[in-house]
Amino acid sequence: MRRVPSVKAMTAWARGLQREGVKIGLVPTMGALHEGHRSLIRAARLACDAVAVSIFVNPLQFGPLEDFDRYPRTLAKDLRLCEEEGTDVVFVPRAPELYPTEFETAVSVQRLTRRFEGLSRPGHFGGVTTVVAKLLNIVRPERAFFGQKDYQQAVVVERLVEDLNLDARVVVCPTVREPDGLALSSRNRFLAPEERKAATVLYRALSAGRRLIRAGERSVKRVEAAMTKLIWAEPLARLDYLAVAHPATLDEVRVVRGRVVLLLAVWIGTTRLIDNMVVSAR
């Protein structure tokens, strides 16, 4: 497995393979890798001839008051996980490599980012779309792999790739969960034991919403009320947002018809967690 810190070496590696017709899969991450990331690397390994994993804690997607400085960094362990999964190259640029002092371009997706995560984290998606555009341009993978855990991000990246005619296929992989339903996230490690228990409230609320819809409830107001009640009942949890939206447009709906996505963000102490579930009304 090669470890590449520079854009130049990364581009050279990718173009060399592409000249021989090798199809590259790219898995963009911020490190602190867990089983969710492992599943993305496996999907890439299965679908592509060569796998590149990028590990970059992207300063551009953190707000000034967010947890960039305390974001977990576990590079040695991350490299072992990548190696175990048969990764061919790990791209580990330092911030000035992607953002030299003269850097001044931003890539932004408009409407889709003005809600949910975008409202709670101003500037966040601008950072995501800018770094993803750069990574896709550097590697030019045949496919790029993202997790459903970050549902809105996946929709935004699909839009970006389509709108800028980027030559990659976006593959969205299912959310990997702990046995009790908590979605794996690098930020879970911040949870104290009591908070870790409370954090199951995200999955419990989503499951309750799904149960209601499957039982025939079509009023989004009532689905949201039931989910909200569960979150309010958890003393360590504070609801940031909760929404029922169209799975492709992310427009909020008032009546459940066909498929919808339940989206939420919840603070557990000082840790902010997100999760979602796609539900079909039958």
Ligand X SMILES: Nc1ncnc2c1ncn2[C@@H]1O[C@H](COP(=O)(O)OP(=O)(O)OP(=O)(O)O)[C@@H](O)[C@H]1O
Residues at the site binding ligand X, with contacts judged by CB under 6 A: 29-30, 36-37, 39-40, 146-147, 149-150, 173, 175-176, 183-187
CA pair distance 173, 145, nearest whole angstrom: 7
**61 vs 88, beta carbon nearer ligand X:** 61
Name beta bridge partners: 145: 171
Sheet holding 143-147, edge to edge: 2-4, 89-91, 50-55, 24-29, 143-147, 169-173
| Shorter beta-carbon distance to ligand X: residue 40 or 92 | 40
Residue placing its CB nearer to ligand X in the complex, 40 or 51:
40
Minimum Å distance from CB 30 to ligand X?
4
206 Cβ neighbours under 8 A, 6+ residues apart: 227, 262, 264, 275, 276, 277
Least Å distance, CB 175 to ligand X, is 4
Residue 143 or 253: the one with the smaller Cβ distance to ligand X is 143
| Cβ 26 to ligand X shortest distance, Å | 11
Residues 6 or more apart whose CB falls under 8 angstroms from that of 69 comprise none
Residue with Cβ nearer ligand X (4 or 53):
53
To ligand X, the closest distance from the beta carbon of 154 in angstroms equals 7
Chain centre to alpha carbon of residue 162: 18
Which lies closer to ligand X via its Cβ, residue 32 or residue 220? 32
CB of 27: closest distance to ligand X in angstroms? 7
> What is the Cα 27 distance to its own chain's centre?
11
Q: Cβ distance 60 to 126 under 8 Å?
A: yes
The answer to whether 37 is a known catalytic residue is yes
* Nearest-approach distance from CB 222 to ligand X, in angstroms: 29
Contact 24, 142 (CB under 8 A): yes
Q: What are phi and psi of 232, to 5 degrees?
A: -65, -30
Which residues are the active-site residues? 37
